[in-house]
Amino acid sequence: MRLHGVARYGSATMALLATLLASAATQTVRAEDGPIILTLTDDKFTPAEITVPAGRPFTLKVINQTAAAAEFEAQDLKIEKVMPANSDITVTVRAMEAGKYLFVNEYKEDTVKGYVVVK
């Protein structure tokens, strides 16, 4: 009987862990929540996808945790900012129409990218 209880507890723990990992990959925010924080490591942005409401401006804070300069670029959002190593930038993005907008580290744009989803 105890083994069954442990197995059920283990499944619940695994489900919670899966939910937490999924939320780390995608972040939904409200404009009043304050800046959306994106972290850049050598090979990825975290979260890789954020969701924001249509028709409302929002603020992005991008933290470059790499030992090299990076260039945060989102052409449709009209953002292009160079970030020195181990630094951050904060930008305000105008209200956007619904859609999916690409952002990249221009220095590694083929592999280091993410999306802003506007709903």
pLDDT tens digits, one per residue of 43-91? 899 999 999 999 999 999 999 999 999 999 999 999 999 999 999 999 9
How many Cα atoms are found within 13 Å in the side-chain-facing hemisphere of 50?
23
How many Cα atoms are found within 13 Å in the side-chain-facing hemisphere of 39?
8
Return d(Cα 54, Cα 119) in angstroms, integer: 5
Residue 22 has pLDDT above 90, yes or no: no
Locate the domains of the chain by residue range.
27-118
Return d(Cα 93, Cα 19) in angstroms, integer: 29
Mean pLDDT computed over every residue of the chain: 82
Q: What is the CATH number of domain 27-118?
A: 2.60.40.420
User: Can you name the residues that pair with 87 across neighbouring β-strands?
Assistant: 64
